[in-house]
Amino acid sequence: MSAALDIIVLTGMSGSGKSVALNALEDAGYYCVDNLPPELLTQLLTLERQRASEDEGRTRRLAVAVDARSAKSLPYLLPVLDNLRTEGTVVRPLFLDASNEALLRRFSETRRPHPLASLRDASADTAAMPLDDDSAQALLDTIELERELLEPLRERSAIIDTTLLRPAQLRMWVRHTVQALPSRLTLVFQSFAYKNGVPLDADFVFDSRMLPNPHYIKELKPLTGRDQPVIDYLREQPEAGELIAQIEAFLLRWLPALENDQRSYVTVAIGCTGGQHRSVYCVEQLTQRFAGRNVVLARHREQDGR
C-alpha cells in the first residue's frame, strides 16, 4: 500500500491571516511547518512518506506555509509543485488575499515591518513606524511588489479573501476548504454585500440587486436568506427563480471545461446590497442544486459567524 499524504501549501499576502489559517490547520489535525524554504519541500515530503509507511497506511496531513519571507526562493516552488503532480502526489495550494487598504491598515495597527521592506530602501526604515503619507506610499509599493511575486502562485491556488473576515470566520472557511475532496473540483458559492466591495477571490460575479428586496418588508428585515419566511417570499418572485436558473445553466455549460483545465476550485460570488437576504438565498438555492454534482461549499461573507 502506498503512503497516503494530504498536503496543503499555504501562501498569500503578508498580513492576510496566514498565522490564523495555519493554526486552524493545526487544529484540524495537520502537521504544520511555517516559512519552509521551497527547496526543502521535496525532502520534507520524502520524510513524511516514510512516516506514513510506518503508520501502516494512515493518511498523514501536512500543511506548509511559504510566503514572502522566502522571496528569493519563491521561483523554485512552482516547479516543485509541478514535479510532485507528475509523480502523482496531490498537493492543494491555498492562497490568502486581502485588499491593499486592509493590508495597509493591518500593518499600521501592528506596527510591524513588511517582510519585503528590506528590498525597498524607501520602506526599510519606515514600515514599522506610524504611517505618514510617504511611508504609507512606500508600504503600498512594497505590497504591490509582493503581489507581483506571488501572482503565479495565486493563479494556481484556491483563494480566500480575508479583507472583511474576522479570525473565527477565517478559521471556519479554512476548515471547510480543506475538508473538500482534493480529487474533485470544488464549487464555492459566496454571498456578499456590494456596499463592502466585491470579493477578491471570485471567479464569477452575479448581481441579485434587481430582485425584490425583503429588507423593505418589516417582518423580513431582521431575517436572512436562510430563514424560511424569506425563502418563501423569494420563491414567490419569478425573477428570483429565473436568475438562479440562468446561473445554474451558465455553470453547467462551463464547469466541464474548467475541470478539463485542471481547476480545483471555482468561486461564484453573488451580491446584493447588504449581503443578507437576496444573495444569501441565491447561494443556498444553488448550493442545493449542485450538491449532487460537485463538491460544494456555501459561504456568506457578511453573515457567517454572526
Distance between CA atoms of residues 78 and 96, nearest Å: 17
Q: Known binder of ligand: residue 68?
A: yes
Amino acid present at 262: Q
Q: Known binder of ligand: residue 275?
A: no
Distance between CA atoms of residues 252 and 80, nearest Å: 33
Q: Known binder of ligand: residue 305?
A: no
With both helix axes pointing from N to C terminus, report the angle between 18-27 and 167-179 in degrees, rounded to the nearest 10.
50
Residue 64, helix vs strand vs coil: strand
Q: Find out whether 189 and 297 touch, Cβ atoms under 8 Å.
A: yes
Q: Known binder of ligand: residue 225?
A: no
Q: Known binder of ligand: residue 55?
A: no
Q: Known binder of ligand: residue 197?
A: no
Q: Known binder of ligand: residue 99?
A: no
Nearest alpha carbon to residue 225 among 195, 177, 270, 267: 270
Say which DSSP state 42 is in: H
Q: Known binder of ligand: residue 67?
A: yes
Virtual torsion, Cα 129, 134, 140, 143, nearest 10 deg: -50
CB count in 10 Å sphere of residue 86: 8
Which residues does the annotation place in the binding site for GTP? 67-70
Which residues does the annotation place in the binding site? 12-19, 67-70
Which residues does the annotation place in the binding site for ATP? 12-19
